Amino acid sequence: MPITTTRTESGIVTITVDYPPVNALPSAAWFELADAVTAAGDDPATHVVVLRAEGRGFNAGVDIKEMQATEGFDALIGANRGCAAAFSAVYDCAVPVIVAVNGFCVGGGIGLVGNADVIVASDDAVFGLPEVDRGALGAATHLARLVPQHMMRTLYFTAKNVTAQQLEHFGSVYRVVPREELLDAALEVAEAIAAKDTRVIRAAKEAINHIDPVDVKASYRLEQGFTFELNLAGVADEHRDAFVSTGKPLASNASHNGGHA
């Protein structure tokens, strides 16, 4: 099964995502992931959730090939709504969510990680938003929760990645460990939280969300509005077609920005 859930007697629920080859999720999977996280938090027997992935990387965002193979805007709207649902589910989960990040975490993966409560990463993990190379916007809201403001802008405009070690330096990643130790490291934190009175932890999660300086859900939806503009203008399709056909960003062209040849 692409999304599976397991539970321990101590109240740790582990949700595992496995969509080979790179964990780029189709629209329906984002909603499925949202439902799994929400259901776990709604169960009073759950004390903490661990979100992890199998395969080469934690998450490669949305399935662009699905989007380009679908007529009209249904796949685009589905992906945007699905991402919003999954990101919100992590944020609103009634118990803390620990993410165990292996390999690459890009695009929609940043939305999941940025809204999580605790981040543990493997020493080969990288994080980034290639959105501008895909003719889209989004998840700057969540990247801003991982890195300082000017670093976020630099990473966003250049579509470059940041390493787990850098995020540990910034204080957003709790631990960086060898990949083979990643799950154990995440479960170690989970056990420490699970041992607490879940009534207090649930209240703490809700309270902390209320004092956040940015409304992450409204902020992300605002970003999505600009993505829809780029789609209506036909810009996003140019970039997605180039990525699907070549696997590379659309080449720069001075005519796109009014420059001179």
Q: What is the pLDDT of residue 197?
A: 98
| Cβ–Cβ < 8 Å for 53, 20 | no
Q: ω before 213 within 30° of 0 (cis)?
A: no
Higher pLDDT, 65 or 156: 156
For the chain, domains (ranges, CATH) are: 3-178+199-211 (3.90.226.10)
98 has pLDDT over 80 = yes
Query: If you write DSSP's letter for every residue of 227-246 in order, what string do you get?
Result: HHHHHHTTHHHHHHHHHHHH
Higher pLDDT, 73 or 146: 146
Give which of 17, 2, 26 is closest to 79, Cα–Cα. Answer: 26
Residue type, 166: Q
Q: What is the DSSP letter of 50?
A: E
Q: How many residues are listed for the chain in this entry?
A: 261
Residue type, 24: A
Residues with Cβ within 8 Å of residue 38, at least 6 apart in sequence? 89, 92, 93
The reported pTM is: 0.92
Provide the edge-to-edge strand list for the sheet that holds 126-128: 104-106, 126-128, 161-163
Give residue 260's pLDDT band: very low, low, confident or very high (50, 70, 90): very low
| Cβ–Cβ < 8 Å for 229, 48 | no
| d(C-alpha 136, C-alpha 141), whole Å | 14
122-180 confidence digits (pLDDT tens)? 999 999 999 999 888 999 999 999 999 999 999 999 999 999 999 999 999 999 999 99
Q: What is the pLDDT of residue 136?
A: 86
| d(C-alpha 159, C-alpha 152), whole Å | 10
Higher pLDDT, 8 or 243: 8
Token pair 């890195």 is at which residue?
147
Average pLDDT for 54-79:
86
| Cβ–Cβ < 8 Å for 126, 113 | no
122 bridge partner residues: 177
Q: Which of 62-71, 104-113, 188-197, 201-210 has the lowest mean pLDDT?
A: 62-71
Residue type, 70: T
**Beta strand 48-53 with 12-17: parallel, antiparallel or unpaired?**
parallel
259 has pLDDT over 50 = no
**What does the mean pLDDT of the chain come to?**
93
Q: Which helix or strand (DSSP H or E) is residue 99 part of?
A: strand 97-101
Average pLDDT for 25-38:
97
Rounded to whole angstroms, what are the CA distances from 3 to 16, 32, 157?
6, 8, 32
Instruction: Enumerate helices (H) and strands (E) in the chain, giving the number of each.
Output: 11, 9
- Tokens of residue 117, six digits: 């409560």
